[in-house]
A and B are shown apart, each in its own frame.
Chain A
């Protein structure tokens, strides 16, 4: 399913490249990611690459902090410009961002959500239907893939622990859920502890993991639902003399996560494909403008699992979130 829709999208893109139905002057896109971080910066590279390839003007505004209160004023300002036809946005809250984005739609702007979605993410039958499409990773699937990767690394048995960032954030919640599901169904010999929430505090992630190791000296693996969680957990693991014995899986292939892996703190890194998300979103906008009516409502861009063995392989290393230099 996922692959099929991704291929459709890619085909669409190729078709668009050769089409001249829409003049670039007719369309102007606003891009509003969730916060300043490497993931969104790579997404921005994708957006800009597509804009360049297709000759479209894109206006990017990045909120300095994550949250509705930071994102909404910027969204309102983008709408107030009056010259944008499309806004590509990673909504920072699936419920609270509905009304501000509805206001944008009322102002004649079409919405494409990337990475995060509105409502339940089902724009065909769900409670929120106005966005053109959602392009992102299936976080539950990412959690499942992480679980299988970790289970393989620890030989299918033992105790593992989830260290996470914040409760009630759809992305991390999905990762935890997928992780737990797979462990419960496919690996009955693996016991899952946590999640503990570190509130994006790496020091706290280290302290929590150290406490868990203290209580469970036989701990075999840790799933860090983002790079802070994995980095803090990995630090505690190495300091307990367990580097290489306790496997740590990190979600998101930031350069920092890769560096941690090369140092032996993290064993597996799960890469999302933010470049794809950004590039496809711009293509979708152009396609819609050209009158395409069969755009998929949901595109899942998939994952790459990076480990020490494949990190130098260009087929994998291309998914590391590289920005600038």
Chain B
């Protein structure tokens, strides 16, 4: 990934074995940490309870749980790689939830078929979100106001708008059928007699069979996976991605090489708001209601996921897969701690510690490679 690209430029043959080991750890530690954590929970949950941590259903629970944090983190990854920050994503998600709920309800009540209503919900939610991103980007790029301040400001504005647009903070009365889009899945696996594996076709079972039915790859997970793939492609394979790294690595150099920096920055904030918008629409589908507060608590978790994933807050480095790992670490912690009956607040303590470790590892790598130390 970027690490290897960056390292190619710093090809130092004289590194000792110890330093080489540290470099290896710095590239792989998030994977290793995630793996160790899963092993820990598999053993601990197995010892302290009768449940299985890595059951099919629980793994699917975790995948569903990472959806909002990951979606907020995906757009944020681009912004932070380009040395920016978007503090508005949580509230943009809420706005998208409210807008999509209104759109779906209005369309459906006007006789639009359910599927099309949901599509319109995505258009309204993601479109409204992208508009906020456009405003963010315009002010940051054209008026040269620091991103921190601009997105802080829009957070408040967007929050107020969401509360105004919603009724009593929650938009209800949505068509019953949207529940399926937010909760049903690609595959179903019913074990036992009369069961089987079903693709795109929810089996009609009841009682104990229904209890044992696993939903594999719920629609929100599938949609999030598509967004992950699009982001991967954008960042790794396109000029858009290269420009993002270039702007974050050295803004002046990017300007001199003729990269349209202003336009690119506007696009970045639109992208960030859009992935938050997708998160908002998905939460509307999942809970069959629009909520003006659903994204409130998610901003810090999403930034934590990005940083744990190895994106440098100073720009120029980071990857999409890293952010996925970061979001997974947070979700695995929550589910695991609940299953162990540990107060869920330990999650914050562990996540906080992991964030700091992530930055320390990032810095030690820079030191070894002889790059200018960051944050000093």
Contacts and interface: CB of A to CB of B under 8 A. Distances in A.
Contacts of B364: none
B314 interface: no
A183 B68 CA distance: 35
A204 B335 CA distance: 10
Interface string A226-238: 0000011001001
A231 B297 contact: no
Interface stretch (A15-23, A108-116, A173-181, A239-247): A239-247
Interface stretch (B17-25, B138-146, B210-218, B262-270): B210-218
A207 B335 contact: yes
B183 A235 contact: yes
Task: Find the residue from B45, B160, B172, B212 having the highest chain A CB count within 10 A.
Answer: B172
Nearest to B188: A241
Contact of A201 (B45, B55, B176, B297): B297
A239 B63 CA distance: 14
B58 A214 contact: yes
Given A36-B163, A215-B45, A215-B51, A239 B183 contact: yes
Given A36-B163, A214-B57, A197 B345 contact: yes
Interface stretch (A4-12, A141-149, A251-259, A309-317): A251-259
A255 B58 contact: no
B344 A197 contact: yes
Given A203-B68, A214-B339, A235-B183, A64 B344 contact: no
B250 interface: no
B163 A239 contact: no
A67 interface: no
A38 interface: yes
A210 interface: yes
Contacts of B3: none
Contacts of A216: 51
A259 B173 contact: yes
B289 A259 contact: yes
Interface string B156-167: 000010010001
A41 B334 contact: no
Interface string B332-372: 00111011010111000000000000000000000000000
Interface string B8-35: 0000000000000000000000000000
Nearest to A35: B169
Interface in B37-70: 45, 49-52, 55, 57-58, 61, 64-65, 68
Interface in A203-218: 203-204, 206-208, 210-212, 214-217
A40 to B, nearest CB: 10
B288 interface: yes
B293 interface: yes
Contacts of A235: 183, 286-287
A325 B171 CA distance: 13
A203 B338 contact: no
A263 B176 contact: yes
Contact of A207 (B61, B163, B170, B294): B61
Given A215-B49, A235-B286, A242 B334 contact: no
Contact of B167 (A193, A200, A202, A324): A324
A166 to B, nearest CB: 11
Contacts of B176: 263
A232 B338 CA distance: 15
A57 interface: no
Contacts of A122: none
B257 interface: no
Contacts of A38: 168-170
A239 B183 CA distance: 7
Interface in A23-62: 36-38, 41
A241 B211 contact: yes
B295 to A, nearest CB: 9
Nearest to A198: B344
Task: Find the residue from B58, B163, B176, B344 having the highest chain A CB count within 10 A.
Answer: B344
B136 interface: no
Contacts of B345: 197
A196 B344 contact: yes
B335 A211 contact: yes
Interface of A: 36-38, 41, 64, 193, 196-197, 199-204, 206-208, 210-212, 214-217, 231-232, 235, 238-242, 245, 254-256, 259, 263, 323-325
Return the 9 tightest CB-CB contacts between A and B, nearest first.
A211-B338, A215-B51, A241-B210, A207-B65, A210-B61, A38-B168, A201-B297, A211-B335, A215-B339
Given A204-B334, A210-B335, 12 more contacts: A196-B344, A200-B296, A202-B287, A203-B65, A210-B61, A212-B338, A217-B211, A235-B286, A254-B170, A259-B173, A259-B288, A324-B167
